[in-house]
């Protein structure tokens, strides 16, 4: 990321997600809500063969995707809950959050393993009961340990909402080598980030990558005019014109889904995501 892209590194290193949700909430951060709809639709299809699917959420931060997948809460409610000022100790705050999520737990849930480079964020999400397990790693510069490879070996769906750019093809190459069976991958990727290197890596591991037509959704508002100019410049470099969303001052994301060849042939993606696509328009 260049200096012209907003730097939020400081909000990912706190022991709890208060700063994370306050900062991104003030920028109308919404991409996890769009991800939730996509992931639920894909998981419904995967449950045909696996009653208890497991998700690997890349760039999981404080477990927000897991929170939305497994609980009857909206992102707005999650942001409001965590943005409240609190004088609680870390342990008491964790206990408060465990109870809050437990009271809203869905009857049908999925196992979610989170991977992120922020140890503090992963630890919180595991301790709060949002993640079944967590992995702290930067796979753009490092590799998975044998223990971590075992954790993700039976994952059914890999998810990421807006993290492409922070992670790229090296991360996907590492994780795909760890699986006993090839999972599905669903990535909401910002338009100004070139997804092609990731798609090539997915394809090299036997996956068929499809860009979902007619699915373009907001991520968050630009934090400054400098960030807006940066994004427009990146789009121009790729020969792209700004979408209506970007013209209105927001990052926009497109959806890529990669599946084993037999699934891509037997089950048209639009049949699975038809209602999700209609809801994004």
Say if 2 falls within a structural domain: no
At residue 256 the predicted structure's pLDDT band, cuts being 50, 70 and 90, is: very high
Question: Which among 201, 217, 175 has a CA at the least distance from the CA of 75?
Answer: 217
Q: Kind and range of the H or E element at 133? A: strand 133-136
Radius of gyration of the chain (CA): 18
pLDDT at position 281 is 61
Residue 66: how many other CB atoms lie within 10 Å = 29
Give the model confidence (pLDDT) of 36-63 as tens digits: 999 999 999 998 877 789 999 999 999 9
SS3 190: strand
pLDDT of residue 117: 96
pLDDT at position 278: 74
The pLDDT of residue 1 is above 60: no
pLDDT score at 2: 41
Angle between helices 196-204 and 169-176 (to 10 degrees): 20
pLDDT tens digit sequence for 143-153: 999 999 999 99
In the prediction, which pLDDT does 3 show?
44
Assess if residue 3 is contained within a domain.
no
For 251, the token pair is: 């990052």
pLDDT tens profile 85-132: 888 999 999 999 999 999 999 999 999 999 999 999 999 999 999 999
Question: Is residue 198 in some structural domain?
Answer: yes
257 domain residue, yes or no: yes
Asked whether residue 1 is assigned to any structural domain, the reply reads no
Residue 5: pLDDT over 90: no
264 and 210 Cβ atoms separated by less than 8 Å: yes
Give residue 8's pLDDT: 82
Nearest-angstrom CA–CA distance, 180 and 267: 22
What pLDDT does residue 277 have?
81
CATH number, domain at 135?
3.40.50.150
DSSP 205: T
Q: Which of 154, 162, 258 is nearest to 202 (CA)?
A: 258
pLDDT band of residue 250 (cuts 50, 70, 90) is very high
DSSP states of 61-80 as a string?
A: TTTHHHHHHHBS--HHHHHH
How many structural domains does the chain have?
1
Nearest-angstrom CA–CA distance, 36 and 34: 5
Residue 34 lies in a domain: yes
In which domain, by residue range, is 109 found?
A: 9-280
pLDDT tens for 160-216 read: 999 999 999 999 999 999 998 899 999 999 999 999 999 999 999 999 999 998 899
pLDDT in the model for residue 179: 94
Tell whether the model's pLDDT for residue 142 goes beyond 70.
yes
110 in a domain, yes or no?
Answer: yes
């Amino acid at each position: 990321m260049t200096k012209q892209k907003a730097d939020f590194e400081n909000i990912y290193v706190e022991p709890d997600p208060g700063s994370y949700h306050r900062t991104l909430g003030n920028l109308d951060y919404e991409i996890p809500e769009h991800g939730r709809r996509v992931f639920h639709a894909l998981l419904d299809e995967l449950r045909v063969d696996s009653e208890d699917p497991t998700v690997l959420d890349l760039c999981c931060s404080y477990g927000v995707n897991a929170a939305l997948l497994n609980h009857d809460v909206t992102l707005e409610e999650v942001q409001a809950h965590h943005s409240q000022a609190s004088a609680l100790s870390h342990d008491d705050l964790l206990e408060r959050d465990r109870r809050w999520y437990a009271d809203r737990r869905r009857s049908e849930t999925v196992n979610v393993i989170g991977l992120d480079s922020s140890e503090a964020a992963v630890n919180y999400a595991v301790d709060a009961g949002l993640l079944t397990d967590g992995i702290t790693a930067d796979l753009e510069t490092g590799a998975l340990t044998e223990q971590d490879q075992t954790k993700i070996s039976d994952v059914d769906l890999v998810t990421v909402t807006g993290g492409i750019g922070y992670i790229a093809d090296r991360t996907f190459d590492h994780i795909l080598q760890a699986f006993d069976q090839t999972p599905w991958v669903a990535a909401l990727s910002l338009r100004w980030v070139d997804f092609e290197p990731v798609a090539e890596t997915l394809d090299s591991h036997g996956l068929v990558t499809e860009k979902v037509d007619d699915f373009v959704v907001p991520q968050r508002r630009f934090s400054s005019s400098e960030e807006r100019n940066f994004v427009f410049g990146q789009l121009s470099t790729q020969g792209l014109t700004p979408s209506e969303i970007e013209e209105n001052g927001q990052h926009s994301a497109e959806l890529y889904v990669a599946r084993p060849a037999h699934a891509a042939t037997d089950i048209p993606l639009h049949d699975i995501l038809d209602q999700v696509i209609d809801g994004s328009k």
